[in-house]
Amino acid sequence: MKKILFPFIALAALVAACVPSVNPFYSDKNLITDARLIGTWLEDSSQSQPESWTFAVADTNAYAATLTDDDGKVGKFDAHLFKLGAATFIDLTPANCDYATNQASLVGVAMIPGHLLVRVQFDEKKLSVVICNPDWLKKFLEKNPSAIAHYLKDDEIILTAETGALQKFVLKHLGKDELFGDEKDYKKQ
What's the domain count of the chain? Answer: 1
Domain of 140 in residue numbering reads as 2-188
pLDDT tens across the length of the chain (189 residues): 444 433 333 334 344 457 999 999 999 999 999 999 999 999 987 777 899 999 999 988 899 999 999 888 999 999 999 999 999 999 999 987 766 677 777 776 677 779 999 999 999 999 999 999 999 999 999 999 999 999 998 889 999 999 999 999 999 999 888 999 889 999 999
Q: How far apart are CA 26 and CA 83, in angstroms?
A: 8
- Residue 37's CB is within 10 A of a number of other CB atoms, namely 22
Question: In this predicted model, what pLDDT tens digit does every residue of 100-149 receive, in sequence order?
Answer: 677 777 776 677 779 999 999 999 999 999 999 999 999 999 999 999 99
Predicted pLDDT at 11: 38
Contacts of 59 (CB under 8 A, 6+ apart): none
